[in-house]
Every structure is written in structure tokens, then in C-alpha cells.
Amino acid sequence: MARIFSGIQPSGQLHIGNYLGALRNWVREQNDDALYCVVDLHALTEDVDPAEVRRGSLELAVGLLAVGLDPEVCTIFVQSHVPEHARLSWLLECTVTYGELTRMTQFKDKSKRGDVVRGGLLTYPVLMAADIFLYNTEVVPVGDDQRQHMELTRVLAERFNNRFGETFVVPEAMVPTFAARVMDLQDPTRKMSKSELSPQGTVNMYDDADTVARKVRRAVTDTDGEVRWDREGKPGVANLLEILAALGDEDPKAVAERYETYGALKDDVAGALIEALAPIRARRDELLEDPAVVRALLARGADRAGEMASVTYARAAAAMGLLAP
């Protein structure tokens, strides 16, 4: 079985892009060798509200359980509970170049948004590479927006291995064929995201049925009226088709053939989402009643992860010439 690792930031609300692009694959691929991480250190790269980071981390862990990750099967933990993530990140920062980091499109986009650009925003993908390397990860289930970070990760692994000797496994990204980039319902040229820029365009995982139905009904389409899967020409309709196709494990082209009108398509997208999200929301409400159970489980996850991480970190530190303590 392949070693799997992936991470998700505890900032903002979980939305259906996270679910269809990543979390569903996490659940499908979970096994004894899979680790899933609440990457709280990554969340510090943007404006920090300490209470929110703390609350968000626990709530996200609850969300991961609610979507169907089973802590008896896989390992679920919080990044900052395993100090080797930050430690290995530093070693890798000393191998990456400034040019490689400034070329990252996510850095370019995010650094344009705020008035301060913090160092952590620039080195963000290096921490991500450290996350992945620590567990000898072979497969990383992510959405389309992480492809470039994954390419840099592979470059860093190969460079380190060539320069300092075989140390890291070179990982592969696992990106779904459809709905790997769920678009904003109000602006289908923009990716659905956790930021609060477009509350009406974002379907959150815990939205109630009425809210989901309203957001889907108001989704921006086009005036051409024909239901057809065409990402370039008809991004709004294509997005709805991909959401429905992904939920039913179908092909969006085949789904399109069943519909004559946008109204009928929207009704079914809303219906399928409501059906998929209802049990997740119910399970999350249940789990939130007993956060101590979740915290205990995160502690166990961090112990398990920490054992593996310390071995890889020591190997990398030795390879780079750090004197063993």
C-alpha cells in the first residue's frame, strides 16, 4: 500500500471544493499508511487571529472525522504538534532558491492581496514539502491548485537526494479528473475558496439545505441556454456539471446529455449536494458535543506521526552535516 499524506489549512470554512477536490479522495484512500494533517503552521502565513486559529484547528479536525476519516484506520494530527515539520522546513529553505519561491502563482496572487507580505507566505511551499517528506510519502491527494507546489516539492526531493544522498521519497500528486478545481458559483472564472470574498458563490460543507438550494439556484451561468460541458466557453454550466458528475462518480459529458434546461440541472445539483452534506453535518454536530474525545485522538495521532517524523528529520539533518546531539 502506498504511503499517503495530505494537509488542509484551518482557516475559514470548509467548502465543497475542499470536499470534491481533496477530502473525498482522502476518505477513499485511507489506510494504515495514510496520514492527514491540520496544517496550523501554514495558517499563520496570513493575518492571524489567535483564538480563531485555535478554534479553527479543532473544528477542522472534527470536520475531517465528519467527512468519514476513521482514526482507527488512518492517522489524523495537527502539524504544530510534531515539531519536525518546522525543523525540516528550515533545512529545505536552505536548499530552495528565491526565484523558485517567487515564481509560485499562489504566492504571486496572495502577495498582491494584502499590504504586508510576510516571509512565511514566501516559504509556505517549503513547509509543505517538509510535511510530505517527513512521512516518506508516495502519494499526495490534493486539488488542482496544489499542482505547482507539488512540482516544487518533487524538485526539492530530487535536488536534496542528488546533493546529500538518497534521503527523501519523490512523491506524486493525486488530483481528481473532475471537480479538481471547483469554481465560485457567482464568478465561475475564479476558484471557490475559503476566503470570505464571495459568500454567495461558496457552498460551505455545513450550509443547511435551504442555503445550498439558494446558492445553487442563483449560480451564474450564461445566456446560451444549452446544457453542454465546455469549461472554456461555458464555465458556470461546466462547473455545475462537474459538481454533479463528481458526486455521482460520472462523466460530466454524460451528465450533460440528461438535461434540457439550466433549471433542471440546478435542481439536481442542489439535491445531490444536500444529500451528500446532510450526514456530514449531522456527524459534525455530534462530534462537537465532545471535543475532549477529538483532542485525545489528535494527541494519539501526533504520537504516531512524531515517531516517523523524527526518524526522517534525523536522517536529513545528518545528511546535511548537522552534528548529532
Instruction: Tell me which residues are annotated as active site.
Output: 110, 191, 194
Which region among 62-70, 158-166, 180-188, 309-317 touches ligand TYM (by CB under 6 A)?
180-188
Cβ neighbours for 7, distance < 8 A, ≥ 6 positions apart: 36, 37, 38, 39, 42, 79, 128, 131
Mark 157-176 with x for binding to ligand TYM (rule: CB under 6 A) and - for no binding.
Answer: --------------------
Find the shortest distance in angstroms from Cβ 242 to ligand TYM: 10
Q: Which of 64, 121, 152, 182 contacts ligand TYM by CB under 6 A?
A: 182
Cβ neighbours for 55, distance < 8 A, ≥ 6 positions apart: none
Mark 4-33 with x for binding to ligand TYM (rule: CB under 6 A) and - for no binding.
Answer: -xxxxx-------xx-xxx-----------
Cell of 241: 456539471
Q: Which is nearer to ligand TYM, 20 or 274 (CB)?
A: 20
Q: Does 126 bind ligand TYM (CB under 6 A)?
A: no
Q: Which of 87, 110, 159, 191 contacts ligand TYM by CB under 6 A?
A: 191
Strand segments (E) across 15-69: 34-38
Instruction: Give the SS3 label for residue 284.
Output: helix
Q: Which is nearer to ligand TYM, 78 or 140 (CB)?
A: 140
Count Cα atoms within 13 angstroms, Cβ side, for 281: 16
Residues that contact ligand TYM, how many (by CB under 6 A) = 27
Mark 71-110 with x for binding to ligand TYM (rule: CB under 6 A) and - for no binding.
Answer: ----------------------------------------
198 secondary structure, DSSP code? -
Find the shortest distance in angstroms from Cβ 219 to ligand TYM: 14
- Sheet containing strand 172-174, edge to edge, reads 75-78, 34-38, 4-8, 139-141, 172-174
Cell of 15: 467548502
Q: For 145-163, give the DSSP string.
A: GGHHHHHHHHHHHHHHHHH
Q: Which is nearer to ligand TYM, 221 or 239 (CB)?
A: 239
Find the shortest distance in angstroms from Cβ 113 to ligand TYM: 14
Strand segments (E) across the chain: 4-8, 34-38, 75-78, 139-141, 172-174
Find the shortest distance in angstroms from Cβ 54 to ligand TYM: 17
Q: Which is nearer to ligand TYM, 129 or 265 (CB)?
A: 129
Q: Which is nearer to ligand TYM, 5 or 168 (CB)?
A: 5
Q: For 220-271, give the DSSP string.
A: ---SS------TTT-HHHHHHHHHHHHHTT--HHHHHTT-S-HHHHHHHHHH
Q: Which of 181, 215, 234, 284 contacts ligand TYM by CB under 6 A?
A: 181
Buried b (16+ CB within 10 A) or exposed e, 183-220: bbbbebeebbbbeeeeeebbbbbbbeeeebbebbeebb
Q: Which of 63, 143, 201, 301 contacts ligand TYM by CB under 6 A?
A: 143
The residues that touch ligand TYM, with contacts defined as CB under 6 A, are 5-9, 17-18, 20-22, 39, 42, 128, 131-132, 140, 142-143, 145-146, 149, 180-182, 191-193
